[in-house]
Chain A
C-alpha cells in the first residue's frame, strides 16, 4: 500500500533515494502554520495551491468554557494573523466557534479532508494520525511547510517499510490506546526509525475509525513519522458524506481507486512485528518516554532511575494505587466521540475524587456539540469534571492549560516527556476509560475492576 501511494505521487526522482512528491492535502494550525505564512511573505512568495490547504485553530486557543480567543495577548495576535493571512491567500480557516474548528488531526478526518491514498502533510508531528484512513501522512518542520506552501510538493527520502500485526482479540477494557502503547513498550521509541509503519491484523480490523486514528496517532512515538492502516468498508462508510469528501460520480470514481490501494497478502516489508493482543492488560506509562509503559497490574521497573526520580515513583511498587492530582481527557490521540463515550460510561453516576481536578476537552467543535446532544457533558459535569472548549489544551500546555509542578496527571494524550504538560509535571499516559477511572478512584486503578 505504501509503495503504491508513494509511486502515485512522484513528480520527479531526484536520485539516491530522494523524490519530489506531490502534496494532495495540507493542514495548518496557528502555531506552525502562522510561522509558515510569515516565511512565505518574507520570501515574497505566494501559496501555489491555496485550495489544497485548510487551517484550524487549536494550539493556543483557550479551552475555558465559552472562550472565543486565546488566554494571552500574544495568542490573540497569533490567531488573528493566521486568520487574516489565511483569508488573503484564499486558504479556508475553520475559526473558533465554527463547525470544523478543532485539533487539526481531529478535524482533518472529521471534515473528510483526509482521504485514502492521498498525501497529507502538516507542520505537526502527529500528522501520522491521518494514516488511519489509508493516507500517506507525516509531520514536517517550518522549512518543509514553507516548501509545501510555495510548491505543493515535498522532497523526501524513501523510507523502509515495517508492519505491525496485532493478532487476537483484546479483552474487555483493552482498547486502541493500549494496543499501540504495548507496541511502543515492546519495540521502543526508536523502534520504527526510518520506516513507514503499516498496522494490520484482526485487532486492528476490529477497531472503529476513531480507534484506528488513535493507533496511527502514536506512530511518531515509536520513531516512525508515518503509520497507516489499509482502508476498508468501515473507512468508506465513515468517510461518505463528510464535508470535503467527494460526492456523486466523483465518490464512485474515488472509491474504485481506493479499493486498489491495500497491500496484497504477499506484500513484503523490511521488518515485521507481531503482537498478541488477547493477553494484554490496560496499559499505563510510568516514566518520561512513551516506551516506559506497563500493564496497570504491573510493577514499576527500576531500569531508569532518572525517570523515576522525576516521576516521584519507587521501583518495585505496584503502579496501581499511585495517587493522582489531575486527569486530562483530550488531545489528538483520544478526544473523539467514542473516547468521550467510553470515559462517560465509567463516570456515569459517580463522582471524581475530591482531590482530583479532572478535565474533558473535546477534540473539535463538532464533537462537543455531538457529545452534548447525547448528554455526555451532563455526566461529566455531575461527576465534578470540567467540560471545556475544543483545542490541544493540556497535551502541549501552550494555551495556559497546564499541570502544576510535581502534580501527577493521568492523561489520554501522547507524550509523557519531562515538562511536556508544564514544568515538572508528571504525566501517565492511558486510555480514556483508564483516565476516567483514575479520576473517580483518585489513584491509578485497573479499569477492568470498574
Chain B
C-alpha cells in the first residue's frame, strides 16, 4: 500500500451532507473495472450533465479545484453501501485525504485499507477549513496536523498503517499461531460453530 506521511495539495470544499457511496460511484461501475479507470466515473451523477458535458457547478470541475487531492466534506460522507469501489474511485481521481465531521463507518475503514487518510473533525472546524481552500493545505500525519495548527486524532493503528504503508492481511497472517490457538480452544467451548 502507498505510504502517507505529508501531503501538500489543493483542497476542495464539498459541503453536501450524507454523500452516499452510490453517489460516489454508481453500482454499474462496480462489476470488475480496473481500479485505475474508476476515477472517470467518480461522482458521475453530479459531475456531469445529462448530455455528458461537465457540470460547471460541481466543485472538482471548477478551475481552482481541479486536481484537488483533499476533499473537505459535509457531515456523514460515504454513508450507505459497503462498496470499496467508492474509495478506489476517489483514489483513481487523485484524492488522498478526506476530511469530514463524520463518515459512513464501512467507508471509513475502506479508506485506511487503501492508503487514504480519513480525518474526523468537529463541524465548526470543518466549516472553517472549507473557507480556507483558496490556498493549498498541508496535511501532516506524523504531527497529526492540518496547516500546522489544526490538530486531528487518528487511531494509532491506522496512523502506523498509513505511515509505513502496511498491509493488514500480511500483519494478521503473521499472527497465525494465535488464530490457531483461539480456534483450538473455541472448538472445545463452542463446537457447534465448527460442526
Q: Do A and B come together as binding partners?
A: yes
Task: List, in ascending order, chain B residues with CB within 8 A of A31's CB.
Answer: 30-31
Q: Which residue of B lies closest to A124 (CB)?
A: B82
**Which residues of A have CB within 8 Å of B32?**
35, 74, 78
Instruction: Report A-chain residues with C-beta under 8 Å of the C-beta of B191.
Output: 250, 253
Complexed CA–CA distance, A420 and B24 (Å): 12
The interface stretch among A141-149, A163-171, A267-275 is A141-149
Closest-CB distance, A220 to chain B (whole angstroms): 8
Closest A residue to B176 by CB, please name it: A151
Q: Give residues of chain B (55-100) contacting chain A, Cβ–Cβ below 8 Å.
A: 75-76, 79-85, 87
User: Is the Cβ of B178 less than 8 Å from the Cβ of A12?
Assistant: yes
In the bound complex, how far is the Cα of B47 from the Cα of A3, in angstroms?
44
Cα-based distance from A78 to B32 in the complex (angstroms): 9
- The answer to whether A15 touches B169, judged by C-beta atoms less than 8 angstroms apart, is no
Mask, A389-423, CB within 8 Å of B = 1, is 00000001110000000000000000101111001
Of A43, A140, A250, A253, which contacts B82 at CB under 8 A? A140
In the complex, residue of chain B having the shortest beta-carbon distance to the beta carbon of A192: B105
Complex contacts, B22 vs chain A, CB 8 Å: 415, 417-420
Task: Give the interface segment out of B5-13, B128-136, B140-148, B179-187.
Answer: B179-187
| A146 CA / B110 CA spacing, docked (Å) | 12
User: B156 to chain A: which residues have CB within 8 Å?
Assistant: 15-16
User: How many chain-B residues does the 8 Å CB contact rule pick out?
Assistant: 51
- Identify B23's interface contact among A18, A48, A225, A417, CB under 8 A: A417
Q: Are A125 and B106 in contact (CB under 8 A)?
A: yes
Task: Tell me the smallest distance from the CB of A415 to a CB of chain B, in Å.
Answer: 6
Q: Does A118 contact B (CB under 8 A)?
A: yes
Q: B164 on the interface (CB 8 Å rule)?
A: no
Task: Known A193-B105, A223-B76; judge A125-B172 contact (CB<8 A).
Answer: no
Complexed CA–CA distance, A417 and B110 (Å) = 21
In the complex, chain B residues whose CB is within 8 Å of the CB of A449: none
B155 within 8 A of A: yes
**B79, A223: Cβ atoms under 8 Å?**
yes
Contact with A along B1-37 (1 / 0, CB 8 A): 0000000000000000010101100111011100000
Q: Quick check: A193 and B31 within 8 Å, CB to CB?
A: no
Whether B80 contacts A417 by the Cβ 8 Å rule is: yes
A173 in contact (CB, < 8 A): no
Q: Which residues of A contact B103 (CB under 8 A)?
A: 193
Which range contains the number of A residues in contact with the other chain?
A: 35 or more
Given A141-B82, A150-B173, are A14 and B18 also a contact pair (CB < 8 Å)? no
Among B76, B105, B168, B193, find the residue whose CB has the most chain A CB atoms closer than 10 A: B105
Residues in A with CB closer than 8 Å to B114 are: 143
Q: B106: which A residues are within 8 A, CB to CB?
A: 125, 138-141, 220, 225
Contact with A along B147-186 (1 / 0, CB 8 A): 0000000011100000000001100110110110011001
> Which residues of B have CB within 8 Å of A141?
82-84, 87, 106-107, 109-110, 113
Judged by a CB distance under 8 angstroms, whether A71 is at the interface is no
Contact B183 A22 (CB under 8 A): yes
Are the C-beta atoms of A190 and B182 separated by less than 8 Å?
no
A155 partner, pick from B82, B104, B168, beta carbons under 8 A: B168
Which residues of the other chain, B, contact A153 by a CB distance below 8 angstroms? 172, 179
**Given A141-B84, A155-B168, A423-B45; A189-B79 close (CB under 8 Å):** yes
Q: Which residues of A contact B76 (CB under 8 A)?
A: 189-190, 193, 223
A125 touches B113 (CB 8 A): no
A 11-41 contacts with B by CB, 8 A: 11-12, 14-18, 20, 22, 24-25, 31-32, 35
29 contacts between A and B (CB under 8 A): A11-B175, A12-B175, A22-B182, A48-B179, A75-B31, A124-B81, A125-B81, A125-B106, A127-B82, A140-B106, A143-B110, A150-B172, A150-B173, A151-B172, A151-B176, A152-B183, A193-B76, A193-B102, A223-B76, A223-B79, A223-B105, A246-B192, A250-B192, A253-B191, A398-B27, A415-B20, A417-B23, A417-B80, A418-B20
- With A31-B30, A139-B82, A152-B179 given, can you name 12 additional A-B contacts, CB distance below 8 Å? A20-B172, A74-B31, A115-B193, A124-B81, A140-B109, A141-B84, A143-B114, A150-B169, A157-B155, A189-B76, A190-B102, A417-B80
